[in-house]
């Protein structure tokens, strides 16, 4: 396998893990709008991603659901894009001065490139992209779903040679390096409900296959706008796949209060790439929710501190709170918060992420969620589908 330059590799991996921490697109738009809760609040369309037991723990009379969604998260708190634009403008001015045999203008442009490079060098940009699809069927005792999702988490890292004018004007020595991890999982969920001590209980499981790809690409800063067209063809490497299992449990406490428990990736997996190991560990989460006719309130908690997929990243133990107000079965208004309560992390990493969302019935379902994190971190998820 390809070995990446260690300096960039370590920094990029850390940035990727920070992006994972900041942008928890483990579910979809409805859950994200409610602070990414779902263990005890997921509906038939979203249960495969949150807690498979919720498939057969529904108050609604829906027997079928289809969900199609896409989301993205973008963090550029360092101002990388602005710096790249400034560098390219100065580079164009340098090239024009050379063609015009104007050494004074060329020197001024090169000096400007050195100044911008000093500010740009080492900065990180961290986008994330997600897509999800699920088809669910609900029966009186058994329910099932087929689901798939893909999550790409990327870090872009500027690496410029500021030794002198000759190095800063050499396109080959001044690059934007891109490294990331893309996971695609396909699962089949089945759930069954029954009575225990006169209370409704549901159990569910999701066997799934997870494919892992590494995104590894480098392009000159001066041509990065056009050079990224080659990313898909030349920058993605298959790291293989593995099989794992999610399980879930939900139990009614009262007619309107339920408690849920989910365990994801019960079969763990480590995948080596270069000098790093990608670890897919088991995650345990508990949820409690009140579900009324017009108001749903819930909270989810990671029961253990979760190590990041990348070893040098930020561990997390999320506490999530959310609510949904259903207005005439036509509009659903959602608010939420996500806070990392893991020990030994910085105060900045503990800063709460705020989320909001809205759901509309337009003859089909349309759900939109947005999230705001630290600095310039922004995210959104949009999905559509049907339930009947």
pLDDT at 6 > cutoff 50? no
Mean pLDDT along residues 134-145: 88
**Crossing angle of helices 103-120 and 80-99, rounded to 10°:** 160
> CA-to-CA distance for 316 and 73, rounded, in angstroms?
18
pLDDT at 32 > cutoff 60? yes
Sign, Cα dihedral of 129, 135, 138, 142: negative
pLDDT at 107 > cutoff 50? yes
Which pLDDT tens digit goes with each residue over 280-317?
A: 899 999 999 999 989 999 999 999 998 766 555 567 89
Cα pseudo-dihedral 246, 334, 133, 353, rounded to 10 = -70
In this predicted structure, what is the pLDDT of residue 21?
40
Nearest CA to 36 among 349, 287, 363, 325? Answer: 287
Most confident of the following: 73-82, 87-96, 227-236 = 87-96
> Whole-prediction pTM value?
0.82
User: What confidence category does residue 25 fall into, taking pLDDT thresholds of 50, 70 and 90?
Assistant: very low
User: What confidence category does residue 90 fall into, taking pLDDT thresholds of 50, 70 and 90?
Assistant: very high
Mean pLDDT along residues 175-200: 91
CA 127 to chain centre: 9
Q: Residue 164: beta bridge partners?
A: none
In this predicted structure, what is the pLDDT of residue 228?
53
Q: Compute the radius of gyration of the chain from its Cα atoms.
A: 24
User: What confidence category does residue 34 fall into, taking pLDDT thresholds of 50, 70 and 90?
Assistant: very high
In this predicted structure, what is the pLDDT of residue 344?
83
Mean pLDDT along residues 75-84: 77
In this predicted structure, what is the pLDDT of residue 356?
96
pLDDT at 24 > cutoff 80? no
What is the average pLDDT value for the chain, to the nearest integer? 85
pLDDT at 375 > cutoff 80? no
In this predicted structure, what is the pLDDT of residue 313?
58
Q: What tokens appear for 1 in the block? A: 């396998």
> CA-to-CA distance for 340 and 331, rounded, in angstroms?
30
Which pLDDT tens digit goes with each residue over 303-356?
A: 999 876 655 556 789 999 999 999 988 899 999 999 999 988 777 778 888 999
8 Å CB contact between 250 and 54: yes
In this predicted structure, what is the pLDDT of residue 132?
94
User: What confidence category does residue 236 fall into, taking pLDDT thresholds of 50, 70 and 90?
Assistant: confident
Domain 29-74+131-152+182-213+243-387 fold is Porin (2.40.160)
Q: What is the DSSP string of 275-327?
A: TEEEEE--EEEEEEEEE-SSEEEEEEEESSPBPPSBTTS--B-EEEEEEEEEE
In this predicted structure, what is the pLDDT of residue 362?
82
């Amino acid at each position: 396998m390809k070995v990446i330059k260690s300096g960039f590799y370590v920094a990029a991996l850390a940035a990727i893990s920070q992006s994972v921490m900041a942008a928890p697109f483990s579910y979809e738009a409805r859950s994200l709008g409610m602070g990414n809760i779902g263990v005890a609040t997921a509906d038939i369309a979203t249960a495969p991603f949150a807690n498979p037991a919720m498939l057969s723990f529904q108050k609604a009379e829906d027997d079928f659901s289809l969900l199609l969604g896409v989301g993205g998260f973008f963090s550029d708190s360092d101002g990388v894009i602005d710096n790249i634009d400034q560098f390219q403008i100065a580079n164009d001015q340098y090239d024009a001065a050379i063609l015009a045999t104007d050494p004074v203008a060329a020197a001024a442009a090169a000096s400007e490139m050195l100044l911008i490079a000093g500010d740009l060098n080492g900065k990180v940009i961290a986008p994330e992209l997600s897509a999800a699809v699920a088809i669910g069927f609900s029966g009186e005792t058994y329910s099932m779903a087929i689901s798939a999702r893909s999550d790409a988490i990327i870090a872009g890292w500027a690496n410029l040679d500021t030794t002198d004018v000759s190095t800063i004007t050499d396109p080959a020595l001044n690059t934007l390096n891109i490294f990331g991890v893309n996971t695609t999982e396909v699962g089949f969920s089945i759930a069954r409900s029954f009575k225990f001590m006169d209370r409704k209980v549901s159990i569910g499981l999701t066997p799934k296959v997870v494919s892992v790809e590494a995104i590894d690409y480098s392009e000159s800063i001066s041509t990065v706008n056009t050079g990224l067209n080659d990313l898909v063809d030349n920058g993605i490497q298959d790291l293989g796949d593995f099989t794992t299992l999610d399980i879930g449990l939900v139990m009614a406490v009262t007619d309107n209060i339920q408690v849920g428990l989910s365990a994801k990736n019960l079969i763990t997996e480590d995948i080596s790439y270069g000098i790093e190991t990608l670890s897919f560990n088991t995650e345990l989460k508990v949820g409690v929710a009140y579900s009324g006719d017009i108001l749903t309130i819930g909270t989810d908690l990671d029961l253990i501190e979760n190590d990041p997929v990348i070893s040098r990243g930020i561990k997390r133990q999320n506490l999530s709170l959310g609510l949904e107000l259903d207005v005439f079965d036509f509009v659903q208004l959602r608010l939420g918060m996500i806070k990392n309560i893991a020990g030994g992390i910085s105060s900045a990493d503990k800063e709460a992420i705020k989320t909001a969302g809205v759901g509309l019935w337009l003859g089909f379902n349309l759900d939109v969620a947005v999230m705001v994190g630290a600095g310039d971190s922004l995210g959104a998820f949009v999905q559509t589908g049907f339930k009947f």
